[in-house]
Structure 1
Amino acid sequence: MERVRVLVVDDSALVRKLLSTMLSCDPAIEVVGTAADPLIAREKIKQLNPDVLTLDVEMPRMDGITFLENLMRLRPMPVVMISSLTQEGAEVTLRALELGAVDFFTKPNNDLASTFADGAQEICAKVKLAALARPRQRTAVRKLDVPPRLTADAVLPRAQSAGTRGGMPIIAIGASTGGTEAIRVVLEAMPPDAPPIVITQHIPAAFSGPFAARMDTCSAMRVCEARDGQPIQPGHAYIAPGGEHLLVMWDGAKYVCRLHNGPPVNRHKPSVDVLFRSMAASVGKSAIAALLTGMGDDGARGLLELQQGGARTLVQDEESSVVWGMPGAAWKLGAASEKLPLDHIAARLLALAHQPVSRAAVSAT
């Protein structure tokens, strides 16, 4: 089995050692080298030709963002950012994802050894996923042992479709790996009077607020981190807070956001399946849903429930996805009527929102 070759770049000798030890424990990963700063990393990339880079942000001689920008211009390759759980760390990491980093792993401010050990499976999985995100075929890697997966039943029982209650179309979007940039592309194309959009992106709690604020600056819509009980209005987009499930509920007079502190679903919190199930129950045939790039299959079954209830559904295509896991799983289930490139999705969502529900069905692409 071909192993994923990794170069670890970090100015901290302790972090380099911890990451190297942790990654080397996975038989599908080989740490081919380490570098204390980007200039050393540049030479080692030439010498060692790694498959994946793990990259810190704050380093001497050249910061990680500047190095990443140069790397993506001159020698594009999969990069996993090593980020701090701070406001500044969130902003920098979101910038790195915009520049082309595949994913990120958050490190603590203290007790590095203990917390890195706790996240060993996660960082190994992210590195192997990054390797698979390259535009070429690779040997499949061994799956990690993981805890049992819960379905959306753990948060919200499946209910009868709401039909067209409320009469207002609502757009729901789910995404994971590569999703922060994909969501930006969709929101940038939306007009200020677009139908309301609810979004679940797999993201840590410290990152969802800065992500929402970042999206608000690049979209004509008002974009915010969703609050419990917040009315859902046209021209607004609501992003699920990290660590809480976002649901759309009918309160008797209007649609509102509801936050739920239930268990992770498909190992994610927030979960796309939970959002989509709530849309199927509350919005029904007036719902429009898109599943964008991401690892795994969260959202695939929820998208199928929406489609079975009469909602309009689509997925991002493989060519424009960083990872065609979630949208690919939904497509294989027959949960989507259309498969579109990322830069066509916003226009299609708007077109569907302006079609009468009874005439909105489309043939599969």
Structure 2
Amino acid sequence: MTTMSDLPQDLTKEIFSRVPLTSLSAVRSTCKSWNSISKSQVLCESAARRKQFLGFMMKDFSVCSMKFDLQGIQNEADFVDPSIKQVSVLDQVEISQIFQCEGLLLCVTRDKSRLLMWNPYLGQTRCIQPRNTFLSGDQYALGYDKNRKHKILRILGDYWQIDHYQRGVSLKGHTYFLAKEKIRIGGTNNNIDCILSFDFTTERFRKLLPLPFKSHYSNKLLLSCVREEQLAVLHYNWVMGQALEIWVTKKIDPGEVSWSKFLRFTSSCIGHIIPGSFFVDEEKKVVVVVDQDYNRRIVTSRNQSAHILGPDRYFKSVNIGETRYIGKRSKHGYMISELCRPRVCSSYVPSSVQLQTNQPVKSEESEN
């Protein structure tokens, strides 16, 4: 009698390439051979060959899986709209922030009452309660030390001036933030944009790293990573020609960083967009910028779009749904809107790290 383990390996790999991210745990339990194949991360290898981006994003205070096929971007007949599906295991709680570290996701609840750790590959979740209380202005990150022991960083206070919309990026266990260094020059306080990193082995912030450009206070800066191997920074200059540039690190060490320019677009090519998050596909030389559509907002909702930027001034916008304005009235009667902007994590790689629910999570708190 033929069993699942008797299927040809090529067919099994094709099956894995079509499995939704959130169904990996169920597939693993089918048989021992499938469990072994999943551990070798055939899913991601197959997805890479198919030129797909697999990851997670925030949408209307929900966590969604995202599959984006970049194969047909130069041929409209072959282009496939991205697939975005809400994660059912987290649909009973509203999430305001997500952070990814090599296959593990750290989720911050909208009411700031707790944190949730989630391993989509193993289908495990873990609730983390605060020592005292979580504050609305707290910043979080997830990383690991030289022994690959995972830890959560919680930043209290605003010494580094990390803007509320900025999110930490995990790279080889370390966490990187876009921050502003306070410098006093000639009796005037100045804020210089830079990269702040945290080492989870020494449990210390490291030397500030420079950006490859000078930014203006009105510029938009965003941080991302490429396959969790390189940092990428988006610089949208509203002053000098409204140019959008993407820079990628060539080298990054504790005290040194070098950059190369990956892509540059001007406003005449892309129109007016408000970058919220982005990811990079180096092989196809493509950048996908995700955010609300500035020009199509209405009273109760705003379109969310994925803007695809590629070689030879290639530009395409794809509607990925609507987001709601969720507001409340101030004591003076004005409506204060609370908008959950779509945020995309870096490409997803399955992790076999077990979430041990009976042991406390190490949380590093910084009050810088």
- Which gives a bigger RCO, structure 1 or 2 (Cα 8 Å, sep 6+)? 2
User: 1 or 2, which has the higher helix percentage?
Assistant: 1
- TM bucket (normalised to shorter chain) is under 0.3
* TM-score for both structures, normalised by structure 2: 0.28
* TM-score for both structures, normalised by structure 1: 0.28
